[in-house]
Amino acid sequence: MKKSILILTLLVAAVSTFGSIRAITPVPQSESASSWWYQRFLYDKEYVKENEVPFMFVGDSITELWMVDGRGLSVLNKYFKKDPYNALVAGYSADRTEHVIWRMENGELDGHKPKAISLMIGTNNTWHYDESQEAPCDTVLGIRSCIDTIKRKSPKTKIFLFAILPCGRSGNDPRRARNAVVNDAMRELCDGESVVFCEINNQVMDCNGYYGEDVSYDGVHLSTPGYTIWAKNLLKLLDPIFNPDDTPEYSRPLSKAGEDWWLERLYETRCATVSVVSSRPSLVFFGDDLAQGWEDQGQEAVQEYFSRRKIVNLGFEGDAIAQMLWRAKFANFSNMKTYNLVIQAGLIDSELTSEEFLDAFSALFAEAREAQPLARTIVMGLPPRGRTPDDPARARIAAINEGLKEYADGENVFYLDCNDELLDEKGVLPEEYSPDQIHFTAEAYKIWAKALAPILR
């Protein structure tokens, strides 16, 4: 990924040496003062001077259709045409990146500084020109220039950069591959803080990549259900900006978007969840190192006890509850539903007091249950830490586990604690189960699996 960023940087530097690139050269779509495009631009330019616009949609016809009855208008009015958003839709049919840059440079960001912008652009760059006329890297440079222009005009505005939507109904449409290259590179334009990469493609396609009539009326533009999906994703992103609260940091969703390995794991798991949207998995492990460990040290236990189950592993090594909460909200579950959800959390949150941990877990549990309301949910107790019973971590873990037990209702939510089986008669954690007193061996996973199997649906 870092190599790709370097390539993009070199390409930008090359522009001044080898000539202009159309996608980054600001031009109006029409220079005629009487054209619909120019008249629309003049209206938006005056509107932002006279009105406060906390939130903007910026893009092409896909964005413009937020304002059209029978497409996105009912969704726009329901969610975004009122306080606190009072959104302006600056989407122009047939616009490419160079047109958006021109609009931003020439007045659409003058006079107001929106708190947030939803930016979706690039479809027409790859639609209007074949790859010999505009390479994917040129389109990416155009998108980056859109971001740079917005940031220069309004430095504090948070940008939610949405991936280019699918082109064509089927996954073998030739434009899909080109757009996929652009979308992958777009991720690298985002820092996860001031510019956030967002994607709803896996929510508007089935597991075979089909872009259905239920969400898109022509295989390119969205219908009302498609705009509803877009809105629901946006609202979760916008809520912390427009409705700030005093929630402690450890209970807020937080990504690791700046770390390549985390993004790669996120991509892997999202591919896994998309592949099972139409065939509900039997078992999902969701959590931190211990959850991911079912793929490694726990593989023998999986084969012995769960070999007939379709399993999706959503464990991320090194994730605290804050990252798990982010994944539950924005990435891992999407449209996927499971019969059984196992939550293993807490390995990384050792600096939290028992009260802080339970407060953070409460937010995570609520999000997981909202995403998987029909799943049998198994809350795993924290395993022992430290070799001997006098280790100070033991008392904290015992207090946390007492709190986790309260989530069990005996019907839809169960609590599982195998600590007695993992400790010897003196309360010592044997090396055969945990050499480093943090992670666990294949034998420990077999103990968990044996206890877990009878609880599952």
Domain check: are 316 and 411 in the same one?
yes
Sequence-distant (≥ 6) Cβ neighbours of residue 259 within 8 angstroms: none
Does residue 53 sit within a domain?
A: yes
Query: Rounded to whole angstroms, what are the CA distances from 380 to 273, 307, 330, 377, 402?
Result: 22, 21, 23, 10, 12
Q: Is residue 255 part of a domain?
A: no
Q: Which of 226, 244, 262 is the last residue of a domain?
A: 244
Instruction: State which of 189, 224, 244 marks the end of a domain.
Output: 244
The answer to whether residues 33 and 146 belong to one domain is yes
What pLDDT shows up at residue 126?
93
Same domain, 299 and 404: yes
Whether 227 and 294 map to the same domain: the answer is no
**How many Cα atoms within 13 Å fall on the side-chain side of residue 123?**
23
* One domain for residues 354 and 427: yes
As for how many domains the chain has, the answer is 2
Q: Give the CA distances from residue 283 to residues 130, 357, 378, in Å, rounded to whole numbers and listed in that order.
A: 44, 25, 11
Residue 268 has phi, psi (to 5 degrees) of: -60, -45
Q: Is residue 428 in a domain?
A: yes
- Dihedral angle over CA of 273, 59, 107, 46, nearest 10: -110
What's the CATH number where 35 sits?
3.40.50.1110
CB contact at 8 A, 62 and 165: yes
Amino acid at 101: I
Angle between helices 224-242 and 321-330 (to 10 degrees): 150
CA angle 105, 107, 111 (to 5 degrees): 120
Residues 234 and 284 in one domain: no
What per-residue confidence (pLDDT) applies to 276? 65
Say how far apart CA 267 and CA 270 lie, in whole Å.
5
Digitized pLDDT (tens) for each residue of the chain, 457 residues in all: 444 444 444 444 444 334 579 999 999 999 898 999 999 999 999 999 999 999 999 999 999 999 999 999 999 999 999 999 999 999 999 999 999 999 999 999 997 899 999 999 999 999 999 988 999 999 999 999 999 999 999 999 999 999 999 999 998 888 899 999 999 999 999 988 899 999 999 889 887 889 999 999 999 999 999 999 999 999 989 988 998 766 777 778 888 876 888 888 887 887 777 666 567 899 999 999 999 999 999 999 999 999 999 999 999 999 999 999 989 988 788 678 999 999 999 999 999 999 999 999 999 999 999 999 999 999 999 999 999 999 999 999 999 999 999 999 989 999 999 999 999 999 999 999 999 999 999 999 999 999 999 999 9
Compute the distance between CA of residue 303 and CA of residue 59 in angstroms, rounded to an integer: 49
Q: Residues 232, 285: one domain?
A: no
Please tell me whether residue 120 adopts helix, strand or coil conformation: strand
Residue 454 preceded by cis peptide, ω within 30: no
Helix 2-18 and helix 136-153: axis angle, to 10°?
A: 90
For tokens 């028992």, the residue is 354
Predicted confidence at residue 429, as pLDDT, reads 96
Q: Are residues 190 and 319 in the same domain?
A: no
- Together in a domain, 21 and 144: yes
Clarify whether residues 56 and 119 are in a common domain.
yes
Residue 249 lies in a domain: no
Per the confidence metrics, is the pTM higher than 0.75?
no
Is there a domain that residue 270 lies in?
no
Per-residue tokens: 333? 């579950």
The confidence score (pLDDT) of residue 329 equals 85
| Residue that is written with structure tokens 């293993």 in the block | 344
User: How far is C-alpha 330 from the chain's CA centre?
Assistant: 4
Q: Quick check: 338 and 280 in contact, CB under 8 A? A: yes
Residue 322 and residue 373 in one domain: yes
State how far the Cα of 210 lies from the Cα of 308, in Å rounded to an integer.
Answer: 28
The reported pLDDT for the residue numbered 14 is: 44
Q: Hey, which residues does 344 pair with through a beta bridge? A: 287
Model pLDDT, residue 277: 59
Tell me if 118 is assigned to some domain.
yes
Whether 267 maps to a domain, the answer reads: no
Instruction: Indicate whether 175 belongs to any domain.
Output: yes
Residue range of the domain that includes 305 = 277-455
Q: Give yes or no: residues 354 and 218 share one domain.
A: no
Which residues, at least 6 apart from 164, have a Cβ–Cβ distance to it below 8 Å?
A: 120, 122, 123, 126, 179, 182, 183, 186
